[in-house]
Chains A and B, each alone.
Chain A
Amino acid sequence: MMAWAILGGLVLIAGLLGTILLTRARRKAARRPESATTLESRPASRVTVTATPGGSAESGDAVQSLSQQVGGASIAVDAEKRSDADEEAHRISEESRVAAEAEQRHEFWPAETEARHVIEEALTGTEANAPQIAEVLRAAPEAEKSRAANQAGIPAEAGTQRDFEESVFAEEEVARSPEESTATADGEPVLEESRGASDAGSPFTANDATASVETGARSSAEASRVPMESEAPNEADEPQPVPAAENELATGDANRHHEEHPSLNALDDHDDATLATVDEQDDAADPASADGGLHTTVRNSPRRRPPTYRPPTSGPSIPGQRSSSVAMLSPNDGTRFARRASSVALRLTFERGGFWNVRLLPTRPENLPERCSVRTGGGSIELLARDEEWYQDVEVDAMGTLLRSGFVWTEVDSGQEWVFAAGREILVLATGTVHIGFVSTGRLALGRQHAVLCTTSHLAAVEHALRQADCGEWKQFDETDGVPKGWVVLCGLDDGGRARGLVPERAVPQEGDALDVLRPLPDVEISLEGGVPLGYNSWLAGVPPAIRVYGSPDFTRKVLIDAKEATLEDGAYVVAGWDEVGEHQVWCHNVRRSYSLVQVQQRAKSWAEFSFMASDKRGRIAICGPLVRPVGDASQLEEPTEPRHRFAVLASNPVLLGPTPGDVLLAVPPRGIHAQTFLAYPSFAPIWALPVHPLRSSRGVTRVLFVGDSTVPSSPGPPRQSERHTNRAIEQWWQMIRDARKKGLAVEPKHPDVVALWRRYTDLADSLWKTNR
């Protein structure tokens, strides 16, 4: 009994305790029902419910309470999902806002705007819109054509020839618009976005208006994407995987950019983008570098291979002109930095012996020194400046292979790169540059002289294209003529064996292949050639430039100089007064150019370029060109104006005397010269020439020579340099005369007047001797 009582007491206590615990739990749940995260983080197993036979009601409450708690957690999870969705919506709306702002900054045309929206959707992951993108891109050229026609004010359905002519008018306007629309979101201009749509509607060029639309769309895409990417690292602590679509887009951007920028620098971009994609993938794998992941034109390491060459799709480049470079973004802070890739031109010269010399001609970027060391693939070379824009040409081994494979040179100190694109198998070179010989250029131009360098595999196609362009006769030069192995030079020769370039005379429609570089465009160009150019469109009067006009003959029939119709003489245009001093203007078609002829005053100031000690040790003799002038001392070398008398001296009578006591000079022949006569430069006009030692000379042979005029002797003048020197010179003067008289030397010529004059000199010498005693 006692035992049963104890057991019952224990059960009662346990029931009370369970009730208390359940009540507490219920109160806690009632106090914090919204704290789903807390419940979620607390494992359910920690809520221990002990079912007892007498406590079912309490346990049922506990189960209810537990299900309520789980339901609260579910609600909390839904709330979290809603919150994420809100954030996503906010992000999308933010992207739309940024894109809209970018759109406001840029003036897109309707077709481009549509394409941009579609591409933006594709950017945000809606891949289902791909067919729509293609449709918009297909429709774009028509919109581009009609817009170009509207800009030019002509109907779009004009005939072929008219289309072509009017497209030339419209070209400038059409070309300008993409330039205006190619600013990025940060306000920086996108370089070289100009030529893509410039030839829209022209049968002579590959119609690439699609690229123009893509350009506009891509700018917008860039505008919306870059802020996204720059914000992404801030949104998550963990590295975010790069969407495959973005990678593809980056590569696609680069490809399109590549097509629109025929220059080496555009190729740089392509290469940069490719490398950037690789870098980006590396960055994605490396959490530490993920937050620096700009995958635009960012390159932090030296280029490993040259970019691949793509032929130009638009107008000709000027031969020998330095192509502009593409600025790159700093990998660290996104700001622009000064490192730019430069190009290397090719130069062909026809040497004596009938050999071709092929050299590389690197451009000289700004701020690079006159001399620099450059790393190449197989070693290093030293570049020496030729002028402010070019380094001296470089001759390399295995040129044929190098031309095919391309190369990248890197300057050791600054990291400056020079790029020669790979895959070029047809190279056009032209004269008329600042270099002798042929220098690589973009394409054939009407009327200019060219040489074509191509691989042997392309020879037949190249010759066919040259015939189409009416390039006249040419000759093939191969490796036996100095051309790199596997390559052929096509160029003419004149009767004298000089290289005569191929001159295309017919414009040929473009076909969109690699041979387009051999199909001249009908460009009109006013060229001022020859003469003596003085810079700033000025030429030396008397040697004016020849005024030539290049381009399709249909457009170059009428040339005006100073508003007067010019005539063609010897291939150059002239008009009355075209070569007079002053400003002149030349006009042809829609092209205008001015020049001025100026006269330059000659400078008459001489200077001491060389100076040597005079043989008499009494000064220096300066030489400037053919001028030989005595100068007093070093301080007077710049102004050799001291009047002196050039005098031919007989070696037998080297002592010269003037009319004034003290006018005495012992003329010493130049060192090593033993001629019978030599020159002296006394500061007085010599009257007499005496032997060095009159008392020791032979009376029968030696004479006192009269070498001047009949100037009578005068009393001693003012001291010249110092009193002591003057006294000594005076003493020498009368001493020489007295010695000659004492020896009884005859005077020559023996004219009575000369003899009488000599007597007057001897009389003065005697009087001076007496005074001196």
Chain B
Amino acid sequence: MSADHLLLWLSAKGEGSWSQFRTAVETLHAEPLSTGGRASGTEEGAAFAANSDLPLYQQLRFALHQLAHVEFQSEERGRRWRVVPPTLAVSYPPRAGALLCGARSPALLDNLLRAADVTVKSSTFDGMPQRFCLEGASHGALVACARSLGLQVQVDAPVAMLSALPQVRDTSVWRHSTIPVTPGWQVHRFSASRLGWLDASQEEAIRARSGLFRFVLKHQRFYYLRSSSRCFRVPVQLGKFAVTRKRRGILAYDREGQTLSALAIFRPPPLIERALVLCSGRVPRFNASTGQVEYSDVPYLVALMAAQLLRQELR
């Protein structure tokens, strides 16, 4: 319930600063996702909690971002957040289903539950607000319902999003930068073969023709991608896929269960991950036995598009 209250609070405020978000997480008594290693919540919740040692507010931030409820802006843009307008992510015909995303209020949920021609199913999962799935007699009925409630509509959001995104090696969207030369940084280089970070030096990062480097100074972490002796500052997930050759084993797809899996160290970049999460409306589940993050209810077409954007093969 705490994540629900958090989303209601965020929706009422509309937008704000990162510190306000953190304060809201604490003020609204958002409980840790799992405590004591005991089965306090659902299996998914425990798995989700075990997935990350991040603080609670960071876990909630990622969940809200993946579920397309809230957009969090980077430090360059002021470290702010803004709630997406209430939107129905309608699945592509012929399936007549939809997922409620973005801002919500008790009044909106009340109206939704009383709407004609649609059935609303709510599900509770740890680490995320309640999921509201709508099912209608037809595709048109869902759209009409959304219009009557003042909601925006996005048809086939996963495919639409993946169609708009560039491939991970598209340098046109990378941001040029320079390697820091000031002393005091701890430098690591990502090894795609060993699937981990190895110690490196600043000189090595400056001289390298290619590779992904992590610069750490106190709480600051920056990721620099060297490509053809040029330097770019990139999100870490994108950087990992950019320096990793196409190989089997990073991504796997289960056709029967419609589940896409990725090695935990190779989580997809945020927007690709959002497209995968919007297929089910659930945050990814960490499978401790395989060490993989699993995205459920992903159609094959979406999995294939994601794999092609990541330049990886589906196993």
Q: Which residues of A contact B (CB under 8 A)?
A: 350-354, 370, 382, 384-388, 434-436, 496-499, 530-534, 540-543, 599-600, 602-607, 609-610, 612-615, 621, 623-628, 646, 648, 670-675, 677-679
Contact = CB atoms under 8 A, between A and B. Distances in A.
Contact of B37 (A352, A434, A607, A672): A352
Nearest to A541: B106
A155 to B, nearest CB: 47
B150 A530 contact: no
Given A497-B38, A606-B85, 15 more contacts: A351-B32, A384-B219, A388-B19, A436-B32, A540-B105, A541-B107, A604-B150, A606-B87, A623-B271, A625-B85, A625-B87, A628-B154, A672-B166, A672-B170, A673-B163
B148 interface: no
Contacts of A606: 84-85, 87, 152
Contacts of A609: 71, 73, 82
**In this complex, which of A370, A498, A670 has the most chain B Cβ atoms within 10 angstroms of its Cβ?**
A670
Q: Report, nearest first, the 9 A-B pairs whose CB atoms are least far apart.
A: A542-B106, A625-B84, A672-B167, A497-B36, A497-B38, A621-B164, A628-B160, A625-B68, A626-B157
Interface residues of B, number: 79
A619 B170 CA distance: 17
B56 A496 contact: no
B27 A612 contact: no
B40 A530 contact: no
B12 A625 contact: no
Contacts of B9: 532-534, 540
Contacts of B169: 672
Nearest to A621: B164
Contacts, number: 194
A645 to B, nearest CB: 11
Contact of A386 (B19, B86, B311): B19
A350 B84 contact: no
B87 A382 contact: no
B309 interface: yes
Contacts of B115: none
B14 A624 contact: no
A350 B101 CA distance: 33
Contacts of B233: none
A543 to B, nearest CB: 6
B250 interface: no
A561 to B, nearest CB: 20
A602 B105 contact: yes
Contacts of A677: 301
18 contacts: A435-B26, A534-B12, A600-B12, A602-B150, A603-B85, A603-B103, A604-B86, A612-B165, A613-B172, A615-B163, A621-B163, A624-B85, A626-B68, A626-B84, A670-B305, A672-B311, A675-B301, A679-B160
A135 B271 CA distance: 80
Given A436-B26, A623-B271, A626-B87, A353 B166 contact: no
B110 interface: yes
A436 B2 CA distance: 12
B308 interface: yes
B35 interface: yes
B84 A354 contact: no
Contact of A599 (B101, B107, B173): B107
A185 B107 CA distance: 59
B150 A603 contact: no
A612 B309 CA distance: 14
B137 interface: no
Given A387-B19, A540-B105, A675-B301, A670 B163 contact: yes
Nearest to B11: A602
Contact of A628 (B12, B164, B305): B164
Contacts of B34: 352
Nearest to A609: B71
B23 interface: yes
A353 B39 CA distance: 11
Contacts of A353: 36-37
